[in-house]
Structure 1
Amino acid sequence: MTEILVIGGGYGGITAAKALDDVADVTLVEPREVFVHNVAALRAVADPDWAERIFLPYDRLLSRGRVVRDRAVRVTAAGADLASGAHLDADVIILATGSAMPFPVKPEPHDRDRLAATHRALSDAGHVLLLGAGAVGIEFAGEIKAAWPAVEVTIADPAPDILGGRFPDEFRASVREQLAALGVRLLLGTGAGQAPAADLTFACYGASVDSSYLGDDLAAARQPDGRLAVTPQLRLPGHERVFAIGDLTAVPELKQARLAQAHAEVVAANVRALLAGGPLADYTPAPDAIVLPLGPKGGASYAPEVGVLGPAETAGIKATMFIESYEEMLGLARG
């Protein structure tokens, strides 16, 4: 059987591993003991009922393959050296190590107590400052105001417009109107050093990737920001059987969980094609689209095929934060 090594157990990694479990010996290498559903992390801060639900065990993800709780410290086209000292050979490698962001945007499993402490701190806060008027800062503002309407919330960003000016004017206008209705103060053109003092301050920007584990044979794909150049088939240039997916890639599109999964689906199909000797498919970068909740009852959405959707539609789309999809993928679907 073909040995497939998936490095990283985030949204893209679990999707790729699951999709290939029936055709190869799949090993998923992931240092965390549980999958973290980051899509619902900000709601987990505001709503304690979510605080444990975002941590989902890997035990039932694969029926034939295995999940190795370890960290890859060196990956070459032939396999991976792990922090434990073990070495894994591979015929195909899928790099899916994702990105990191400041707490609480992407919490770690050991952050359970920190989530609870942050909830308590927000309950006692008079003024909260969010640095960054992108999707993260705006979503966090909505969650805070929904849970604690009396808390003063300020979003500061040196940019001249929210969301970096991306998306149609109608969409951004809807978001700004809803922020104003919630009482969120928006300070654009304002850097962190110019922002007002607050009881609590959260950095809502700064996604970073770590590709330092690449061996010399793969390192040429690394870009200055650490992301990896890939071919249209999502392979590392010059390497037929080494793929990269998700936030780790330099694919020119938004970095979102759904797109990491879209990458994984293309790569899984391409790996099957490789094994069968068939042609590989290209991945087409996705146009900008977003579902941006502002608390459980508000928000705005945009996709080119449907246009702008308002608070009710957005709240309905994100009502469960898609948790049921990941419970099903991980074999945890509720009866």
Structure 2
Amino acid sequence: MGNTVAVVGGGYGGAALARLLDADFDVLLVDPKDAFVHTVAALRGLVDEEWSQRIYFGFDGLLRRGRHVRDRAVVVDERGVTTAGGTRLDADYVVLATGSSYPYPAKPETDDSAAARERHAETRSALAAAERVLILGAGPVGLELAGEITERWPERQVVLVDPADDVLAGRYLPELRSALREQLVSRGVEFVLGSALASEPPVPSGVHAPFTVHTLAGTRVQADLWFRCYGVSPLSGMLGGALAAARRPDGHVEVDAYLRVAGLPNVFAIGDVTAVPEPKRSKAAAEHASVVADNIAALAGGRPPARTYRPGGEGVLVPLGSTGGASQVPGPEGPLVLGPADTVRYKGGDLLVARYAELFGSAEPVAG
């Protein structure tokens, strides 16, 4: 086989893999964005103008041998990629790192970093003017957004609505849920749990305008700004040829223990798009990248892939602003719950910005 690797998607997994392969392969990193988006810090960028300048990193510093193809993949098959611009990129190895979509503000709605910053600024102004903010979804994103808003504007009233009976659905320890809920209650956050809204607010998300909604249980909620913090969707609609058979009805892509797609020897998938049964986190995507880099190197050397991936457990880090939060991490005798200080130490302080600045070969993000 030859030496060309098409990596489709420049998010956490795709960027890490492209960097790992860059010295020895001709890497084509296909992504329509003008910069890598450090979505881990996106919610702080929403509330803080200075932070909004720190979450975008240009692809120029990532690769020395390979290149960033700024275009959208519309067909990906076992032989390469066809882009929206009509370019055909043939490859010896193909890696799906397309990730997932998620409602704004957790992920930007545009591929242009300047436009994304402008949208953040508009939303920041709406938050500054709002009195009551409704957040739909009490998972990690909804909780983190509530934490950022209440740290930046302590007087702001925040209401979290979720059909689940408690925050943070999933296989997490009750102590973790209690710690997060109690910290937010101490900041004045109101929880309306156990019933979904009867209908969405009558104004667009992120737009400052007063409205009233009701839950199916009859609870009345008034606010003048709202955000949706649920609805992750894997991006796999571009799969063609033999790859299409690996796409599950929910959009995730089936992979084997070597992270190969549908048993095809030269096609892999990493990150959120995979059907690997684990939380979809940036850390997992980077670990996938390491496994696939080794397996592609083995194939290129005439050897079978030897490195397998073992799914991670139900770990999560949930900062609540720069000083609060709680986490669940693996321990020697089972999962452990960490409090605010440890959460800030692991993630909450700089939200891993320094790590990605180093990956992209720059101490500074792309210019605004």
What TM-score, normalized by structure 2, do the two folds share? 0.89
Contact 2:159 2:191 in 1 (8 A): yes
Q: Is the 8 A contact 1:274 1:280 kept in 2?
A: no
Does residue 9 in structure 1 map to residue 10 in structure 2?
A: yes
Distance in 2 (CA, whole Å) between partners of 1:123 and 1:130 is 16
Q: Give matches, 1:1-335, under 5 Å.
A: 2-107=3-108, 108=110, 109=113, 110-193=115-198, 194=215, 196-278=221-303, 279-305=305-331, 307-318=336-347, 319-333=349-363
Q: 1:78: Cα distance to partner?
A: 0.7
Give the CA deviation at 1:165: 4.4
Return the TM-score normalized by structure 1. 0.97
Whichever residue aligns with residue 298 of structure 1, its letter is G
Pick which of 297-306 and 253-262 moved more.
Answer: 297-306
Question: Aligned partners of 1:160, 1:66: CA distance in 2, in Å?
Answer: 48
Distance 1:102 1:55 in 2: 18
- Structure 1: which 5+ residue stretches go unaligned? none
Structure 2: how far apart are the matches of 1:71 and 1:45?
26
Query: Which residue in 1 is equivalent to 2:210?
Result: none
Please say if residues 159 and 189 of structure 2, whose CA atoms lie closer than 8 Å, have aligned partners that are also in contact: yes
Query: 1:128-183: per-residue Cα shift (whole Å, max 9, x none)?
Result: 00000100000000000000011100100001111114311111111111111111
Residue identity (%): 49
Counterpart CA distance in 1 for 2:310 and 2:191 is 35
Q: Which moved more, 1:300-309 or 1:248-257?
A: 300-309
Cα distance in 1 for partners of 2:301, 2:172 equals 41
Q: Take 1:225 and 1:20, find their aligned partners in 2: how far apart are those partners?
A: 30
Task: Report the Cα offset of residue 308 of structure 1.
Answer: 1.2
Report the count of equivalent residues: 334
Q: Name the CA distance, whole Å, in 1 between partners of 2:261 and 2:100.
A: 18
CA distance in 2, matches of 1:288, 1:165: 8
Q: Which amino acid aligns with 2:345?
A: G
Distance 2:343 2:236 in 1: 35
C-alpha change, 1:49 and 1:246, in structure 2 (3 Å) is: same
SS at match of 2:234: coil
- State the AA in 2 paired with 1:140: L
RMSD: 1.2
Q: Which residue of 1 aligns with 2:211?
A: none
Deviation larger for 45-54 or 10-19: 45-54
Q: Deviations over 1:211-252 (max 9, x none)?
A: 111113110000111110111111012201100000000110
Q: CA shift at 1:127, angstroms?
A: 0.3
| Secondary structure in 1 matching 2:268 | strand
Q: Deviations over 1:278-332 (max 9, x none)?
A: 3421100000111110111100011122711111111222200101111111111
Deviates more, 1:77-86 or 1:299-308: 299-308
Amino acid at match of 1:157: D
CA distance in 2, matches of 1:141, 1:238: 43
**Correspondence for 2:204:** none
Supply the distance in 1 between the matched residues of 2:151 and 2:78 (Cα, whole angstroms). 48
Aligned partners of 2:321 and 2:363: how far apart in 1? 25
DSSP-derived class of the 1:240 partner: coil
SS of equivalent residue, structure 1 residue 164: coil
